[in-house]
Amino acid sequence: MLETRWWGPPPDAAPKLVLLQEGLGCVALWRDFPEALADAARCGVFAYSRVGYGASDPATLPRPIRYMHDEATDVLPRVLDVAGVRKAVLLGPSDGASIAAIFAGELRVPRVAGVVMIAVHVFVEDLATIRAISETYEHGDLRARLARYHRDVDVAFHGWSGAWLDPRFRAFDITGQFGRIRIPALALRGTDDPYGSAEQLRAPKRAATCSVQTQLIAGARHAPHLETRQETMAAIVPFVHSVLMEKAA
């Protein structure tokens, strides 16, 4: 079973924003962002915790190196079916953004009208940040802090870090997905993101054959939706409205 939650109008009353968690995220770690987004965008918002995270069922480790592809092409379509989502925009930060990009590139699903990608991982640049987080998890207070949100915190953390730190993961590159996306996309990134440079925005823009809007958000790191909410909302809400109005026309 997956942990799920709705905010805003019920499933059959309005279009939806489907939130795809970051690498170590879950429903609770969206904090109050979904409620604020539902109010600002006047849409329903749906979020779920992937297997192994939050209160969802445990996962078996190690995770496959292609776990983001599996989530995008196998798990997410079934989640949308079960949730009864009929028209939606996908929104994800970090791993969730990569899952949204893969979904849009691999599948043609009419009910998904657009994608919002925050701090998307397009390719692997530098793993120093993940190595540092792993040290904090093993020897600092990160494990205790994450344990408040995940049923099995070791599965949640090691499932993510184990895949990223596997030498085979250096080959991860989804630039080509952007040449296959046929729906509007918005990509946002903080100027101070330690996980990657602005090239993570420039590469998709060069590869894209669809409309891809990109924006760097000054002062934000890897979670602009939490760190610089006003600027991030100012980019997301008009995009969502334009996409959903276009889809309805």
Tens of pLDDT along 21-80?
999 999 999 999 999 999 999 999 999 999 999 999 999 999 999 999 999 999 999 999
pLDDT confidence of residue 210: 85
Whole-number Cα distances in Å, 74 to 79, 99, 157, 230: 9, 11, 22, 34
Residue among 172, 174, 225, 230 nearest 203 (CA): 174
CATH number of 219's domain: 3.40.50.1820
Confidence of residue 246 (pLDDT cuts 50, 70, 90): low
- The answer to whether residue 178 scores a pLDDT higher than 50 is yes
pLDDT confidence of residue 151: 97
Whether the model pTM is above 0.85 = yes
Q: Mean pLDDT, the chain, as a whole number?
A: 95
Is there a contact between 96 and 89 (Cβ–Cβ < 8 Å)? no
Q: How many domains, in total, are found in the chain?
A: 1
Residue 85 and residue 12: Cα distance in Å, rounded?
Answer: 8
The DSSP secondary-structure symbol of 58 reads: P
Return the percent helix, strand and coil in the chain, to nearest 5: 45, 15, 40
- The answer to whether residue 11 scores a pLDDT higher than 80 is no
Please state which of the ranges 23-37, 91-105, 200-214 shows the lowest mean pLDDT. Answer: 200-214
